Amino acid sequence: MGIFCTIHTLRLHFEEHLPLVVAGRRLGVPKSTVCSMFVRFRKAGLSWPLPAGMSERELDARLYGSASTVPVVLTESTVMPEVPGVKKRPRRPNFPYEFKIALVEQSLQPGACVAQIARE
């Protein structure tokens, strides 16, 4: 959550007396993000209005500490696990085309029982 959203969420909650969820919804911020920001706000011992002279950078540092200044490194390729999570079932054998045609011809005979042909 950017510092712009943080300050506006605080203002909506404390000055306009909106619930946390509604304040976040107005700014398009997920409920969980807004709630965790308010937990950080309380743990930092801050109050509204913010202390005079507190810059946005200071507020960011108080709320998020060193986590806000660490750049996010995205890897270019996804690391695939060695063992797949889903076990594949073994494939059914591929029967030759001629065999399939012979089965169809047998099943189309009058009085043919498909279940009996399948068991053979």
Dump pLDDT digits (tens) for 4-30.
Answer: 777 788 888 888 888 888 888 888 888
Distance CA 7, CA 30 (A): 15
Higher-confidence residue: 61 or 86? 61
Average of pLDDT values for 66-92? 61
Please tell me what DSSP assigns to residue 47.
Answer: -
Decide if 21 contacts 31 (C-beta within 8 A).
yes
* Domain spans in the chain, listed from the N-terminal domain onward: 3-68
Dump pLDDT digits (tens) for 49-77.
Answer: 877 887 778 878 887 776 554 455 555 55
